[in-house]
Amino acid sequence: MIETAVQSPNSMSQQVTDQGTHLPTVAPTEVPAFKVQNLSIWYGQKQAINDVTIDIPSKTITAIIGPSGCGKSTFLRCLNRMHELMPHTRVEGKVLFQGEDLYGAGVDPAAVRRRVGMVFQKSNPFPTMSIAENVTVGLKLNGLRKRSLLDERLEKSLRMAALWDEVKDDLKKPGMSLSGGQQQRLCIARAIAVEPEVVLMDEPASALDPIATMKIEELIGVLKSNYTIVIVTHNMQQASRVSDKTAFFYVGKLIEFNDTKTLFSQPKEKKTEDYITGRFG
Amino acid sequence: MQSTPGNNRRWRTIKSAIVSALSFIAAILVVAPLGFVFFHLVRSGAGAVNLSFFTQLPKPVGEAGGGMVNAIVGTAELLGIAALIGVPVGVLGGVYLAEYGSARSNRMLRFIADVLNGVPSIIWGVVVYGLVVLRFKSFSAYAGGLSLGLIMIPLIMRTTEEVLLLVPNGYREAALALGISRWKTIVHIVMKTASKGIVTGILLALARVAGETAPLLFTAFGNRFWNHSLREPIAALPLQIFTYAISPYEDWHRQAWAGALVLIVGIFFINIVVRLLTRNPAFRVL
């Protein structure tokens, strides 16, 4: 069932690069991870996303900013079809992930989410599980049984999440026994243990203290070399610190998308300028 | 406002005292019957609770002694059959309500479950009598267990639903975001998180039906001997108590009291297990 959405990596080379003017300064990669075309999303009668077209480059950190209720979370969640968990959602337009339509007929949302993982605002380690079980549960429930492979992935994921040294002697302890910042890094380890290609982050540090936030931000910078990262944040300083590209959303519309530096120093749109200078939101 | 602040306060103090006293009396009235019942049972029944009560079959009329071992075992068997029917249906029904059902179908199902919870238990006995006993032309352990199981279904369904709804949505989202399928998420994450709550609901439902007498009257019927086949009538503690209590024999009355004591201690025990389960600090749901 996973195979339905997984496609051979060589299809990446078949992609036509038409990314145009918005090439990231840091990693001018070949193909965008996501090509979003004229996307609109409704919850019942309420339109949350209005005709958004954007290319999200791969192996890059893209930040999404905007005032509350601007649709930034909804947009993030539509990249791995998590928004469908809300009843009565409707999608128009296309989301192409590595050239493949995420909303195409016969695409299994579970298969999409294996490739596009997610970290949430509130850290949510599974309360019935130990630290180790929390990291490996995604692999186990997706059918990986081999002990040695699980142990290997466990250590690798915890190391990548910069948590290994802190918990390596306590792997059997409950995941809930960790501090808030550690729990969030555990959740990041859990998300990357299934080896997705993209990690979506929905305000991953908004519930943490400054030091824990700093650690998460450092971690995001490190993860960039292996993963495409899309991060929603209401904290503009955070967006400017961690991201390569920034998209500004306002009432469901994409107002401006550019290199982070450019967007914060020379915004093209009046709305963007008003927002980043703190005139509203 | 400024007229009599002192009086005002005095009157408020009196009112407060009256209401406190009334609620205290009400609380006593709630707890007292339990104390009286238990005290009375111990006084009248403890004398007849002895080894032979737990090891011997009832003696024929006129002979002293004997026990209720067949009824004790029979109740256990009936509860087993009831659990086999009530637990899977009740738990899966609760899962449907909490995880799958649409708002409209859920409102209807909940209403029906609540109505079923209010149906007098003797009605279940009559229903099973009509559906099973008449068809197979025999009272049986199956029929008794079925009538108890039917009572358990809506009880377990509602408690399961409630504890599943207590599991924060963040866990469902976290699991689904790992690419775990919906049913695996429900079984391995949601139900596991709520497992103690689900077990509690099952135990409380068992405790509730363990003392049911009316639905067994036309289904299990009762038996003065060992039950050798689940297709035959079977003894049950509440039935035996009923039969002995309305008999004219002194000795049987004593045994009825003893049976009642054993039954209530058993139910008490289940409730204590539930208490221990729910007090565990790792128990995050409920």
Of the candidates B178, B193, B195, the beta carbon closest to that of A138 is on B178
User: Which of B106, B172, B173, B178 best probes binding to A when mutated, by most A CB atoms within 10 angstroms?
Assistant: B178
Rounded to the nearest 10 degrees, what angle do helices A147-160 and A131-141 cross at? 120
pLDDT > 90 in chain B, percent: 74
A244 to chain B nearest CA, in Å? 24
Mean pLDDT value of segment A201-215: 91
Q: Tokens standing for B238?
A: 């509440």
Of the candidates A111, A122, A141, the beta carbon closest to that of B170 is on A122
Query: Residue A261 to residues A81, A87, A240, B139: CA-CA distances in angstroms?
Result: 30, 38, 7, 83
| pLDDT at A24 (0 to 100) | 45
Contact criterion met (CB < 8 Å) for A128 and B184: no
Hunting for tokens 């068992």 — which residue is that? B206
Q: Tokens standing for B142?
A: 């199956």
| pLDDT at B89 (0 to 100) | 97
CA of residue B20 relative to chain centroid, distance: 33
Contact criterion met (CB < 8 Å) for B178 and A117: yes
| pLDDT at B280 (0 to 100) | 58
DSSP 3-state assignment of A52?
strand
Are A154 and A190 within 8 A, CB to CB? no
| pLDDT at B281 (0 to 100) | 53
Evaluate if residue A142 carries a pLDDT over 60. Answer: yes
Sorted by sequence, the CB contacts under 8 Å of residue B195 that are 6+ apart come out as A128
Higher pLDDT pick, B5 / B44? B44
Chain B residues with beta carbon closer than 8 angstroms to that of A82: 173, 176-177
What residues form DSSP beta bridges with A47?
A: A42
Pick from B138, B121, B120: which is nearest to B129 by CA?
B138
Q: For residue B8, what pLDDT band results from cuts at 50, 70 and 90?
A: confident
Q: For residue B59, what pLDDT band results from cuts at 50, 70 and 90?
A: confident
| pLDDT at A42 (0 to 100) | 94
Chain B residues with beta carbon closer than 8 angstroms to that of A124: 168, 170-171, 173-174
Evaluate if residue A33 carries a pLDDT over 80. Answer: yes
Q: For residue B277, what pLDDT band results from cuts at 50, 70 and 90?
A: confident
Contact criterion met (CB < 8 Å) for B178 and A122: no
Evaluate if residue A197 carries a pLDDT over 70. Answer: yes
Three-class secondary structure assignment of B66-130: ECCHHHHHHHHHHHHHHHHHHHHHHHHHHHHHHHHCCHHHHHHHHHHHHHHHHCCHHHHHHHHHH
CATH architecture of B70-279: Orthogonal Bundle (1.10)
Rounded to the nearest 10 degrees, what angle do helices B141-166 and B121-128 cross at? 130
Of the candidates A87, A110, A120, the beta carbon closest to that of B179 is on A110
The single-letter DSSP state of residue B231 is T
User: Which of A113, A121, A122 best probes binding to B when mutated, by most B CB atoms within 10 angstroms?
Assistant: A113
Mean pLDDT value of segment A135-164: 94
**Mean pLDDT rounded to a whole number for chain A:** 88
CA of residue B271 relative to chain centroid, distance: 9
Evaluate if residue A167 carries a pLDDT over 70. Answer: yes
Q: How far apart are CA A47 and CA A44, in angstroms?
A: 8
| pLDDT at B62 (0 to 100) | 78
Mean pLDDT value of segment B242-252: 91
Interface check for B195 against chain A (CB to CB < 8 A): the answer is yes
Q: For residue B5, what pLDDT band results from cuts at 50, 70 and 90?
A: low
Higher pLDDT pick, A281 / B175? B175
| pLDDT at B172 (0 to 100) | 95
Chain A residue with CA closest to B196: the answer is: A128
| pLDDT at B47 (0 to 100) | 87
Mean pLDDT value of segment B75-103: 95
Interface check for B180 against chain A (CB to CB < 8 A): the answer is yes
Sorted by sequence, the CB contacts under 8 Å of residue B104 that are 6+ apart come out as none
Q: How far apart are CA A204 and CA B147, in angstroms?
A: 52
Chain A residue with CA closest to B187: the answer is: A141
Mean pLDDT value of segment A183-191: 95
| pLDDT at A2 (0 to 100) | 41
Higher pLDDT pick, A28 / B103? B103
Of the candidates A85, A115, A128, the beta carbon closest to that of B176 is on A85
Rounded to the nearest 10 degrees, what angle do helices B103-118 and B141-166 cross at? 130
| pLDDT at A171 (0 to 100) | 94
CATH topology of domain A2-122+198-276: Rossmann fold (3.40.50)
- Taking CB atoms and an 8 Å cut-off, how many pairs form between chains A and B? 79
**Mean pLDDT rounded to a whole number for chain B:** 91
DSSP 3-state assignment of B13?
helix
Mean pLDDT value of segment B78-103: 95
Are A178 and A167 within 8 A, CB to CB? yes
Mean pLDDT value of segment A170-180: 93
Is the complex ipTM higher than 0.95? no
Interface check for B121 against chain A (CB to CB < 8 A): the answer is no
Q: How far apart are CA B264 and CA B262, in angstroms?
A: 6
Of the candidates A115, A124, A141, the beta carbon closest to that of B188 is on A141
Chain A residues with beta carbon closer than 8 angstroms to that of B189: 126, 137
Chain A residues with beta carbon closer than 8 angstroms to that of B171: 124, 126-127
DSSP 3-state assignment of A192?
helix
B193 to chain A nearest CA, in Å? 6
Higher pLDDT pick, A258 / A23? A258
Evaluate if residue B22 carries a pLDDT over 50. Answer: yes
Pick from B266, B156, B267, B152: which is nearest to B201 by CA?
B156
Evaluate if residue A236 carries a pLDDT over 50. Answer: yes
Classify residue A13 as exposed, middle or buried by CB count within 10 Å of its CB (0-12, 13-18, 19+).
exposed
Q: For residue B6, what pLDDT band results from cuts at 50, 70 and 90?
A: low
Mean pLDDT value of segment A74-79: 95
Residue A235: its H or E element: none
Residue spans per domain, chain A: 2-122+198-276
Chain A residue with CA closest to B191: the answer is: A128
Contact criterion met (CB < 8 Å) for B178 and A120: no
CA of residue A205 relative to chain centroid, distance: 13
| pLDDT at B66 (0 to 100) | 86
CA of residue A87 relative to chain centroid, distance: 22
A142 to chain B nearest CA, in Å? 6
Chain B residue with CA closest to A201: the answer is: B177
| pLDDT at A243 (0 to 100) | 95
Of the candidates A85, A128, A196, the beta carbon closest to that of B192 is on A128
Chain B residue with CA closest to A128: the answer is: B193
Classify residue B36 as exposed, middle or buried by CB count within 10 Å of its CB (0-12, 13-18, 19+).
exposed
Q: How far apart are CA B86 and CA B177, in angstroms?
A: 33
Tens of pLDDT, residue by residue over B152-163, are 999 999 999 999
Interface check for B261 against chain A (CB to CB < 8 A): the answer is no
| pLDDT at B3 (0 to 100) | 54
DSSP 3-state assignment of A254?
strand
The distance between the two most distant Cα atoms of chain B, rounded to a whole number of Å, is 84
A272 to chain B nearest CA, in Å? 31
Mean pLDDT value of segment A109-137: 94
| pLDDT at B19 (0 to 100) | 97
The amino acid occupying position B153 is I
Q: For residue A69, what pLDDT band results from cuts at 50, 70 and 90?
A: confident
Chain B residue with CA closest to A87: the answer is: B102
Evaluate if residue B176 carries a pLDDT over 60. Answer: yes
Contact criterion met (CB < 8 Å) for A85 and B173: yes
Bridge-based pairing of strands A198-202 and A116-119 is parallel
Interface check for B171 against chain A (CB to CB < 8 A): the answer is yes
Pick from B169, B199, B168, B175: which is nearest to B189 by CA?
B175
**DSSP assignment string, B18-46:** HHHHHHHHHHHHHHHHHHHHHHHHHHHHG
Q: For residue B64, what pLDDT band results from cuts at 50, 70 and 90?
A: confident
Contact criterion met (CB < 8 Å) for A142 and B182: no
| pLDDT at A8 (0 to 100) | 41
